[in-house]
Amino acid sequence: MRTAYTADQIRGAEHELMARLPEGTLMQRAASGLAAVCADLLGRVYGRRVVLLVGSGDNGGDALYAGERLARRGARVDAILAGSRTHEAGLAALLDAGGRVSPSSALERADLVVDGLVGIGVSGALREPYAELVSAANAARAPIVAVDVPSGVDASSGRVEGLAVRARVTVTMGAYKTGLLVDPGAEHAGRVELVDIGLGAYLPDPDVAALTSADVDVLLPRPGKESDKYRRGVLGVAAGSSRFTGAAVLAVGGALRAGAGMVRYAGPAAPVAQVRSHWPEAVVTELDRPSVDDVGRVQAWVLGPGLGTGEWAHELAARVLASAVPVLIDADGLTLVARDRSLLRRSAPVLITPHAGELARLIRADRDAIEAGRLEHVRRAAGELGVTVLLKGSTTVVAEESRPVRVNATGTPWLATGGTGDVLSGIAGALLAQGLSCYDAASCAAYVHGAAGRLAADGAPLAAADVASAIPAAVRAICGEAP
């Protein structure tokens, strides 16, 4: 599991470690790792032009010492000093190795730019001359390596207010920072390389975590010799309407492909016909009234995709939520809950899967504010609503009160197309029915969904049904099983 920490958590760990080491040890460790990554990116170091953007803080010192190492290997290293002060020993080491102090025009000739302007302790919009340098660096042809975090990215949240460095690689020291895993910060970070400087024993519980393939492999349910369709999880799906028949088809398909032992679909005539046509494996109940009394026993429900938002849908939602099993609420179900929060007053677990607009309605917040501060708002929603929240978007995040937020590292922008959220609901619902908690089901479903999206897209547009079809291949890849 990849764990990440806030700026305060990192600084606390650094303080404890530095008290046990000779002065300057951590900076030298950081500079060594940074120089190694820069050398790998350059390929050939001798004769290459490296430009350092040097601020007043310790990451400016990291950049200077890394520049010294590159200069001693034959690189032509220019330092642009932007801060009100400069790390004196680092600058002296660079100059002694043959580096030089240069104006900002050096960016035009750079083969590599090292961003050491601001570190993890800075938040808010960049001031001048930093903002002007960041703009020039982003416009230059050379790739940028950011030190610890890209300048302009809030290390603790991923917020970007104004300009921020767009790095090819971010070399982060000691531990991952939260803002490197959550958009918009993650988008600016590029590939993230971790340099071990010895912080591990001094780090507290993480702020956020990202599951790896190995973590998901352990969590995903597998059938045993004694399994039957009932023991493998029976999922109820209340979705679809005469207008949105496809939502029911996609949710059922996602659940079946994700390993549910049985899917019981309940809905009106139009989506019933489509589900029967596409998925003869599903057990279908045509509803002539908003009741699930005749559907049969289930271990979990998916409620809401394409359901509609009228009185009939509200009554059906109330009946489903009156059950004693976990319920996943998505799409139209979220609109119904936003209008009537009393629907959430239940003792059994609830998982909601909103996008930013739906979450904005649920917690009476601004959509743009949610996009800019995903962690803050997903935590608020989990606490305020008393549910597990999977917030969809450029970074999918999963929050449950008193647990670290989980960030999903898979996925592709090609998933931003109609119906893929219905498939995600089916995957997560299947995992709930198979016994995973809302927290684990949401986290694993996001991972599998993202992996299936990558396989289905393969660099080209996809349709939601393609994602459902790719789920078995994604699971095989995650579990390391040959096709």
Cβ count within 10 A of residue 234: 22
Model pLDDT, residue 372: 87
Give binding residues as ranges. 58-62, 115, 119-125, 130, 148, 151, 247, 306, 355, 392-396, 421-422
- Cα–Cα dist 403/255, whole Å: 26
Average pLDDT over residues 154-177: 96
Please report, for the chain, the start and end positions of each structural domain, with discontinuous segments joined by +. Answer: 2-205, 213-479
Q: Is there a contact between 45 and 98 (Cβ–Cβ < 8 Å)?
A: no
pLDDT digits (tens, 9 = 90+) for 56-99: 999 999 999 999 999 999 999 999 999 899 999 999 999 999 99
- Cα–Cα dist 441/66, whole Å: 43
Give binding residues for K(+) as ranges. 59, 115, 151
- Cα–Cα dist 127/55, whole Å: 12
Q: What's the pTM?
A: 0.92
- Cα–Cα dist 396/182, whole Å: 8
Model pLDDT, residue 139: 97
Report the CATH number of the 213-479 domain: 3.40.1190.20
Give binding residues for AMP as ranges. 392-396, 421
- Cα–Cα dist 259/206, whole Å: 31
pLDDT digits (tens, 9 = 90+) for 369-386: 999 899 999 999 999 999
Average pLDDT over residues 212-216: 96
Torsion angle, CA of 79/83/88/92, rounded to 10 degrees? 10
pLDDT digits (tens, 9 = 90+) for 179-208: 999 999 999 999 999 999 999 999 999 999
Give binding residues for (6S)-NADPHX as ranges. 58-62, 119-125, 130, 148, 247, 306, 355, 422
- Cα–Cα dist 111/283, whole Å: 62
Average pLDDT over residues 254-278: 97
Q: Give the residue with greater pLDDT, 322 vs 227.
A: 322
pLDDT digits (tens, 9 = 90+) for 21-63: 999 999 999 999 999 999 999 999 999 999 999 999 999 999 9
pLDDT digits (tens, 9 = 90+) for 232-265: 899 999 999 999 999 999 999 999 999 999 999 9
Q: pLDDT averaged over the chain?
A: 96
pLDDT digits (tens, 9 = 90+) for 388-425: 999 999 889 999 999 999 999 898 999 999 999 999 99
Residues facing 170 on adjacent strands: 146, 192
Total residue count of the chain as it appears in this document? 483
Joined tokens for residue 28: 């030298």
Q: With 60 as the cut, is the pLDDT of residue 482 above it?
A: no
Q: Classify 2-205 by CATH class.
A: alpha beta
Q: With 50 as the cut, is the pLDDT of residue 483 above it?
A: no
Residue 299, SS3 per DSSP? coil
